[in-house]
Amino acid sequence: MLLKTITTTTTNTSTTLTHPLLTITSLFHHHKPTTFPITTKPFTHSLRTTTVKPMSWLTRLGFGTRTPTDPSSDQSSSIAQGPDDDIPAPGQQFAQFGAGCFWGVELAFQRLPGVTKTEVGYTQGFMHNPSYNDVCSGTTNHNEVVRVQYDPKECSFESLLDCFWDRHDPTTLNRQGNDVGTQYRSGIYFYTPEQEKAALESKEKHQQKLNRTVVTEIIPAKKFYRAEEYHQQYLAKGGRFGFRQSTEKGCNDPIRCYG
């Protein structure tokens, strides 16, 4: 330790004191100096790092692995994968169809005689009560569908199938035109064994007609989540540009599907 000689002078005496450095001595009073100890502690600083995994563009289009959205995802999935518990009007039946963007598909069914109601929505996914943004993320496995209510006395299920096949290309997997993703897949979702039988037979005939593989899935209808109100009867209400398109029964006007 370094030493330093300090001379203190008062009115009565002159005293020479030897103290360690970093010691403070009063110049006016004779008392013990006050020493402040220096304590050296190691300084450490830890940085918390977070690794963000970039979302693959394939995932955005619906080809990635589903990631649970919350701790209750198992319960959410069981609800979403349950049956459609809605009940059609007396004497009516339900059917669900996925054939690409649901705007144009709905208008096609609206024009079909015997169809009494149409709604667009989401089904066949893992998330309970999904939003449009959830479905478009490609992580919920939902399909955009039209749920058709029809009077079987005026409209056969086969007529619905004809409208379905005419409206889209059932040979493109998870795609219709420029719309790409699992939410645009081709699907027939049946409510009765009779609908299933008719759908399978119709698919076989259509595949022979096209001479190409039809990728349409034919599986039981699951819980239907009605889409946001602005999606309902979108083209009939005029869409973004306000050009209303006819829903008159039997109308053959070209359907213009625009956002």
Active site residues: 101
Beta strands in the chain, from DSSP E residues, in sequence order: 3-9, 14-20, 23-24, 34-35, 93-99, 115-123, 143-150, 175-176, 179-180, 186-190, 217-220, 225-226
Alpha carbon separation from 55 to 51, 66, 73, 125, 243 (Å, rounded): 12, 12, 20, 20, 37
Residue 239 is classified by DSSP as T
> Could you tell me which residues come within 8 angstroms of residue 32 by beta carbon, excluding any fewer than 6 positions away?
none
